[in-house]
Amino acid sequence: MSMVKVQDTGFKGRGLFAVVPIKAGTVLFEESPLVSCQFSWNSSYGYLACEYCLRPLETAESNVRRLTNDYTINLPYPECCTVQEQLSSHTKCTDCMEMYCGAECLQNALQLYHRVLCLGANRSDTNHPINALVEFWKNIHFPPETSSIMLVIKIIAMFKQHENTSKLRTQFEDFVSQTVNQDLMIFHKMLGENFSQQIEQLYDLICNAFDPSSDKRLHWLSLSGFRSLLALIGTNGQGIGTSSFADWVRNVTDIEMNEMQREALDVTIDNLYNKLDDVVGSFLNNEGSALYARQSKVNHSCAPNTECRFPHSNNVLALTTIRDIDAGQEICISYLDECALERSRHSRQKMLSENYLFQCKCEKCESQVADPDETSEEEGSSEEEQQMDDDSD
């Protein structure tokens, strides 16, 4: 029996609720996404991940060497690395050389979208309409990336590749029904200040690449259909991060060793993280975005009781409780990252209404309802916090 069920919450639509008392640390469910992709800049900077599932494709040692640009680094305990193969042994699409973690992911990609998206020998041709679309997107969305046109491209390809689109339609309509009244998306933060013009340019590029007017499977892909699709990925897209180095760190932490070995290892890991911080800052992971059918029904709270984890180092999400939950309580995740959650009620509400188009009425926000309407930087917070505020503005 499931520990949770979807039910109506009243003012914020559907939500997920605990049916029984649940202990902290419980995995409520695991699910694969309907569609996922690596961010475009992340990929073009050489972060290597399976095109289908985002599993890291380089060993922890190669990963840390590449990121720090120090090829003298040798990682101890290589058996703790989850990626053992050399790059040359990875499964590739024989036409375009796109890399996958195995035959199953290549098969899944081919079956779902890659027959439409395989560019074959044109893979590096910047004039190819699909590449032109991705380049245009990259030039209006610099890192840190929060969303990707690749999700849109893959969804379109899924429709184009299937004779019978009714199953697909049902899957995506479930999302679309949540966003249909949100045509205010034109103001969406993800889309930036000048996005109303860019959205039309993007749509032209979509038409060049997929010619929706001559394909009955894409009859929904009008300019407004395209806007809804952007709204859908903007408000429902869940970030994914995978890293073979982080996996290695987790695995070496679990193995048995004596105290001296442990201390030496801790120093090694600290030094590596400092080095990484100097060179790449927070850009440690293969990063991407995905749409999840079940997880998308989980509402936001500024005091969440669950979080999304990726325990298999790929796009499989595990919704995990972070505190004990009573039967009947709503299951909530945070749509904001940890730093943002520490900010004032006013700042949080601003971010949530700009990025996710709702007014937060969670218990934390309600308990702070009397707080002055100040953004965090006006509160005389520490320098570091001010920096974050500046970054996200």
Q: How far is the CB of 73 from Zn ion (least distance, A)?
A: 26
Q: Which of 49, 53, 149, 336 binds Zn ion (CB under 5 A)?
A: 53
Q: Interface residues for Zn ion in 356-375 (CB under 5 A)?
A: 360, 362, 365
Asked if 82 and 131 touch (Cβ cutoff 8 Å), the reply is: no
Taking CB under 5 A as the rule, does residue 50 contact Zn ion?
A: yes
Instruction: Evaluate whether 33 touches 54 at the Cβ level (below 8 Å).
Output: no
Site for Zn ion in 248-277 (CB under 5 A): none
Determine the interface stretch with Zn ion among 49-57, 149-157, 268-276, 384-392 (rule: CB under 5 A). 49-57
- Alpha-carbon torsion, ordered 69, 241, 253, 81, to 10 deg: -60
* Separation of alpha carbons 293 and 315, rounded Å: 13
| Contact pattern for Zn ion over residues 302 through 321, marking x by CB under 5 A | x-------------------
Of 221-229, 237-245, 327-335, 355-363, the segment contacting Zn ion by CB under 5 A is 355-363
Among 70, 95, 183, 211, which residue sits at the site for Zn ion (rule: CB under 5 A)? 95
Report if residue 106 touches Zn ion, rule: CB under 5 A: no
Is residue 96 near Zn ion by the rule CB under 5 A? yes
- Using alpha carbons, select from 324, 329, 339 the residue that is nearest to residue 299: 329
Q: Compute the least distance from the CB of residue 270 to Zn ion, in Å.
A: 31
Closer by beta carbon to Zn ion, 153 or else 272: 153
Out of 81, 105, 218, 240, the residue judged to bind Zn ion by CB under 5 A: 105
Query: Counting contacts by CB under 5 A, is residue 341 touching Zn ion?
Result: no
**Nearer to Zn ion (CB atom), residue 50 or residue 206:** 50
Task: Return the number of the residue (321 or 334) whose C-beta is nearest Zn ion.
Answer: 334
Give SS3 for 13: coil
Kindly state the tokens that stand for 73: 């680094």
Q: Is the dihedral of CA 256, 259, 265, 266 positive or negative?
A: positive
Please check whether residue 92 is in contact with residue 119, taking contact to mean a CB–CB distance below 8 angstroms: no
For residue 243 the two structure tokens come to 């890293």
Q: How far is the CB of 110 from Zn ion (least distance, A)?
A: 8
Which letter does DSSP use for residue 22 in this model? B
| Residue with Cβ nearer Zn ion (92 or 262) | 92
For the CA atoms of 374, 378, 382, 387, what is the dihedral angle to 10 degrees? Answer: 90
Q: Out of 57, 101, 112, 340, which residue is the one contacting Zn ion (CB under 5 A)?
A: 101
From candidates 28, 55, 249, 330, binder to Zn ion by CB under 5 A? 55
> Binding to Zn ion by residue 209, rule CB under 5 A?
no
Residue 350: strand, helix, or coil: helix
340 binds Zn ion (CB under 5 A): no
Residue 314 Rama label (left phi>0; alpha psi -120 to 50; beta): beta
118 binds Zn ion per the rule CB under 5 A: yes
Taking the least distance from each CB to Zn ion, the nearer of 260 and 370 is 370
Q: In the sheet where 306-309 sits, what is the strand order?
A: 27-31, 317-321, 306-309
Q: How far apart are CA 247 and CA 313, in angstroms?
A: 8
Cα distance between residue 51 and residue 118, in whole Å:
12
Q: Which residues sit opposite 339 in a β-bridge?
A: none
Is residue 351 part of the contact set for Zn ion (CB under 5 A)? no
Query: What's the rounded Cα separation, in Å, for the pair 85 and 105?
Result: 16
Nearest distance, CB of residue 199 and Zn ion, angstroms: 29
Q: Which amino acid is at 191?
A: L
Contacts with Zn ion by CB under 5 A lie at 50, 52-53, 55, 93, 95-96, 98, 101, 105, 118, 302, 360, 362, 365
